[in-house]
Amino acid sequence: MDTTVIDEAIDKYVNERMKKGRTSAAERFLSYAYLKYAGDELNEFLKKVRGMTRYYVDFLTLMENPFKGPELAWFASMVIVGVVSGFMMGEEDTRLAGIFIFSGTLVHACSLIKMAAKKWRDIGVMIAIYREIIEIVEREAKTLA
């Protein structure tokens, strides 16, 4: 069984969930599974969907920390630039440049906080949706057994 088919089914569920809600998405997901597969293939499909979705949940749980990845490097560079601009504000010759650099650093810090909060929120929503898929698949697998 090809993983692109499984990814496609998961993506269809996520898109339907975002547009029309949980019930509609679950019905469409299950109807897709029953129309595409029958008998043992359906059980195998559900197992693979559950496994891949659990992998996605585990991966997103690792990435849920907003300061993993490029955000951490951006934050570290802002701290360094902020410290340097603080030293610049202490010198009479470079005070004006230090003020401008520090104010730019504050603007970028606000932007980083907004971006990290959005990333955290979006990942949390995706984890919840993937957990819904796992629940649906496990419930359906019990009815097949």
Stated pTM of the model: 0.76
By the 10 Å C-beta count (0-12 exposed, 13-18 middle, 19+ buried), 71 is classed as: middle
In 3D, which of 72, 37, 52, 58 has the Cα closest to residue 3? 52
Query: Would you place residue 67 in the very low, low, confident or very high pLDDT band (cuts 50, 70, 90)?
Result: low
- 66, 111 Cβ separation under 8 angstroms: no
- 132, 53 Cβ separation under 8 angstroms: no
The token pair at 112 is: 């980083």
**Residue range 107-121, pLDDT digits in tens:** 998 998 898 888 888
pLDDT at 40 over 80: no
For residues 121 and 100, give the distance between their C-alpha atoms in angstroms, rounded to a whole number. Answer: 32
Count the neighbouring beta carbons within 10 Å of the beta carbon of residue 44: 12
Identify the pLDDT of residue 70.
80
